[in-house]
Structure 1
Amino acid sequence: MKSAYIYVRVSTDEQKRKGYSLPEQEDRLLKHCDHNDIKVKGIYREDFSAKNFNRPEWKKLIAMVKKKSSHEENNILFIKWDRFSRNIQYAYEMIGILRKHNTAVMAIDQPIDLTIPESSVMLAVYLSVPEAENTRRALNTTNGIRRAKQMGRYPNKAPLGFINLTGLDGKKFIAPTQPEAGIIRWVFQQLAKNIYKIAEVRNMAYAKGFRCSSSNFSKLIRNPVYCGLISIKLDSLERQMIKGIHDPLISEALFYEVQDIINTKRKINSKTDELKATFFLKEFLVCPVCARKLTGSFSQGSTKKYPYYHCPRKCKTRINAFKLNDSYKHQLQQFSLSNKVTELFNCIVEDSNTITQKAEYLQVRKIIIRQLEEQEATLSKARKLFVSDILKYDDYSDLKKECKANLDCLKKELDDIVIKLKSIDKQRQSGNYPFVNIFQGYSNFDIADKKSLAILIPPGNLNLQTGDVSLDLNNALSKILSQTDKPFHKNEFYR
């Protein structure tokens, strides 16, 4: 009695086609073996592409063949030659390897007697046709993607911050998804300031819950999809930008501003950054002894370095930088907006910020509701076509699964928008706005903002004994700001 191994294979796309299922292939091969009195030594089932032989089950089969004695004849059976390979070069190489181990391969629907010299011509035909099909399918896919992009659609997997959706016409499109879309918009805004390294912005985004590897983050900030543009490759050197039909997360101006910044070679000196962060007040401080501007530097102690603002002249005036910076911060935090200014700001925020933000959320809610209706309509239409036997079960099942996933994502986004709208309404009813104590978040300001604030409210007289500093308010600011009576405790900065 002869013996053989059975090998059945489908690729991901072939699973959707009737007649290519693994059970059907296996059933036909088992019947063939039973009819021809062939003993089945093993069955290997594969769900993998045949573009090469780097397939898990095929590797197991080859390992099994190599374990057997070279004197023992082995056979591998499959339905057609395209189940074996879709690359003629790799196919011939594998046939040669199997011959060394006294193993023959055969397709029961396309039998070939390799002992006849002319049969090699038919083998070449059977092996080359699947490769030609693969090449044609890949070319059609490439052309289809190009046509979709030329129409402004993004046919690939949605990038971070977007989600793939399907319209009533069956065409796919991408739409922003929260909270990723909001964080990506914030990322571009931070990069446009040109004061942070890319890695620093990524770490700050990570702290907000944005998960993205370093390499993908580098690609993300260079992707024109976020400003509403879709890139089409014309040749090896030239690309064309097409206006997409999807809603952009940022403006084109902001995108290209960021590209100019991140593509410019800059020498980043971490020591200089540390000096700027520690001695950001040095341009505004005057020596109380000789009236010259103070500078800043670190002094080496017995165990570590200590920062000091000091006079470059012979008077040797110096003040601990940490104490002086803390004193400046405390003096700022003693100020809040006066009552009349607060009332004015309430009106301004009500008119410009809150109402505008609520309008944006309402617009987003309207878009999400429309998308939900489209998905539900698509599902309803597909259900009717399935009941009418127009749509096959596999196609209906795949479409239903996709619609369900889209509906779940859209419902989650809708819930987030509803929560934000309720928060705005609650804030408007309470009338409590965080801008009254406008300097409470001073510690979170970046260096550029702290310097801008120091220009507006410069430090005044210095106390060399305590390290305290006063503030110089001009007449206009003295009418806008009012000072609280909260006592200052130096130790609160070191707790």
Structure 2
Amino acid sequence: MKSAYLYVRVSTDEQKRKGYSLPEQEERLLKYCEYNNIEVKGIYCEDFSAKDFNRPEWKKLFLQIKNKSSIEDKNILFIKWDRFSRNVEYAYEMIGMLRKYRTTAMAIDQPIDFSVPESTVMLAVYLSVPEAENSRRAQNIANGIRRAKQMGRYPNKAPIGYINLTLLDGKKIIAPKEPEAGLVKWIFHQIAKNTQKLEEIRKIANNKGLLCSRSHFFRLIRNPVYCGHVIIRFNFEEQQTIKGTHEPLIQETLFHKVQNIITTKRKVTAKTDELKALFFLRGFLVCPICGRKLSGSFSRGKTKKYPYYHCQGSRKTRINAILLNTCYQNKLQQLVLSNKVIELFSYVLDDQDIKKQKTQYLSERSLIERKIKEEESILSKARKLFVVEIFKLDDYNKLKAENRVNSKCLQKELQDINTKLRNIERQTKLLGKKIFTDIFQGFSDFDIADKKHLITLIPPLNINFQTGYLSLSLNETLSKVLVLKSNQKIIKNEFY
């Protein structure tokens, strides 16, 4: 008695177009096996495309065949060859793999006798026709989409901020969808300000409720559909822009401004910045032998590299960069603001009216906290209505999602106000304790540009290239602002 595995496949569009169904195919295959006295070893049914063999049930069937004895002849039955595959290349590859495991694939409505050499011609026809149908269908769909775009319509899936709608006459359009549309507008306006990094804007938008991955976000800000345009692509190089019939979310001028910002060429300066940060005294050091400015580079040791300031002309002048940097920083941190400057800063802080700002921020925080409680109350009431089945599941989920977005926005506003209040508290402590007089304590955290500017104002002098000992020089103006931490005396033009 012969045996066989039954394979039943259908895709959703085929089921609608041709009336195929899984039960119908299975019933016909079972009747065929009963009539021909074939034992059914297993039935594998799936709703999946046949463009390749990356299908869940087919993988299970193929694994079953591989695990069976290689001596035993095995068969796979299906209705037609288009159930097996709609791609000639993958079909022949799979047939070859099945033969390795002594397995024969056969369509009961399109039988082929593989013992006859000429039968391979019919197999080629049976496999080619489904692929040709797919290619023709794909081409017709592409032509239809292109014609719709030429008329200014957007027939694809609506991008974030829009929703697909069908008019009474059957035409499909896209329309703005809130709150996503408002968030998309906010994104473009924030980028146009050019004050934040794109990644920071994306994270804030996500916190506001925009569900968008990083790659999708960068496609979003380059999509001209938001300024009312539709792109028609003819090939990889040729494309055309058409004025769309849908409602734009932003102005065309704003879109082009954003494109200029995000397409500005950015240099990769990570390694260069790291070297500049390490050799921040470069350009301010002079060789005592030849008078040239010192350069900076690494010297390879037994286990690692060591940074040095050195003269390219005179090989004798060299000093460890970390040692000299530390000596300069230590000297700099011995300086504090004079008492008169501290008094001036106190007047400046008083002019800012910190108490008034604090009162305003506290009022805003109280208002936001009240709104947060209201959102929690709304969600609690909605949950009770859902439990007693007054609220439907879809309505409850919609309200819950909207509540989540509003709560995130309010929490972000609350966080910003708390930050402002902490800054005011910090200013008050600084004014009371006068700890802001040590203005160079955070020198190591300064930006490289700030360090360079500071060194220009306070350059190193009289450097001992053996010990790293040095002195600092101040101009007449700075000598009135800075004093030594130890004795609080006004610093002279050249000191220690």
Question: Structure 2 length as normaliser, TM-score?
Answer: 0.58
Partners of 2:77 and 2:225 in 1: CA distance: 48
Partners of 2:345 and 2:117 in 1: CA distance: 91
Q: Is the 8 A contact 1:228 1:249 kept in 2?
A: yes
Distance 1:317 1:37, change over 3 A: same
- Other-structure match for 1:164: 164
Q: Are 2:155 and 1:155 aligned?
A: yes
Q: Is the 8 A contact 1:310 1:316 kept in 2?
A: no
Distance 1:443 1:100, change over 3 A: closer
Distance 1:88 1:266, change over 3 A: closer
Report percent identity of matched pairs: 62
Q: Which amino acid aligns with 2:354?
A: H
Partners of 1:164 and 1:322 in 2: CA distance: 60
- Other-structure match for 1:100: 100
Shift of 1:54: 1.0
Distance 1:334 1:64, change over 3 A: closer
Q: Which amino acid aligns with 1:56?
A: P
Partners of 2:214 and 2:70 in 1: CA distance: 51
Q: Are 2:352 and 1:328 aligned?
A: yes
Distance 1:195 1:122, change over 3 A: same
Q: Which amino acid aligns with 2:50?
A: A
Distance 1:441 1:42, change over 3 A: closer
Partners of 1:442 and 1:71 in 2: CA distance: 76
Partners of 2:54 and 2:340 in 1: CA distance: 74
Q: Are 2:135 and 1:123 aligned?
A: no
Distance 1:466 1:26, change over 3 A: closer
- Other-structure match for 1:243: 243
Q: Which amino acid aligns with 2:352?
A: Y
Shift of 1:255: 0.7
Q: State the number of aligned residues.
A: 323
1:310-459 equivalences in 2 (<5 Å): 317=341, 328=352, 330=354, 333=357
Partners of 2:103 and 2:61 in 1: CA distance: 11
Q: Is the 8 A contact 1:87 1:127 kept in 2?
A: yes
Q: Which amino acid aligns with 2:357?
A: Q
Tell me how large the CA RMSD over aligned residues is. Answer: 4.1
1:105 is paired with a residue whose SS is: strand
Partners of 2:157 and 2:253 in 1: CA distance: 25
Where structure 2 has 5 or more consecutive residues not aligned to the other structure, the ranges are 274-325, 327-332, 361-393, 407-415, 421-430, 437-496
Q: Is the 8 A contact 1:174 1:246 kept in 2?
A: yes
Partners of 1:38 and 1:20 in 2: CA distance: 24
Partners of 1:29 and 1:55 in 2: CA distance: 20
Q: Which amino acid aligns with 1:62?
A: F
Distance 1:323 1:233, change over 3 A: farther
Shift of 1:268: 9.9
Q: Which amino acid aligns with 2:118?
A: E
Shift of 1:332: 6.7
Distance 1:91 1:321, change over 3 A: farther
1:285-321 deviation line (CA, Å, top 9, x unaligned): xxxxxxxxxxxxxxx9xxxxxx9x998xx99946899
- Other-structure match for 2:61: 61
Which entry has the higher C-alpha Rg, 1 or 2? 2
1:121-161 deviation line (CA, Å, top 9, x unaligned): 10111011111111111111111111111111111111111
- Other-structure match for 2:33: 33
Distance 1:115 1:265, change over 3 A: same
1:7 is paired with a residue whose SS is: strand
Question: Structure 1 length as normaliser, TM-score?
Answer: 0.58
Which structure would you say has the larger RCO, counting Cα contacts within 8 Å and 6 or more residues apart? 1
1:231 is paired with a residue whose SS is: strand
Q: Is the 8 A contact 1:329 1:442 kept in 2?
A: no
Shift of 1:209: 1.6
Runs of 4+ in structure 1 over 3 Å off: 266-270, 314-327, 331-336, 440-444, 462-467
1:81-120 deviation line (CA, Å, top 9, x unaligned): 0000111111111111111111111101101111111111
Partners of 2:46 and 2:132 in 1: CA distance: 22
- Other-structure match for 2:234: 234
- Other-structure match for 1:113: 113
Partners of 1:243 and 1:186 in 2: CA distance: 23
Partners of 1:37 and 1:152 in 2: CA distance: 61
Distance 1:103 1:329, change over 3 A: farther
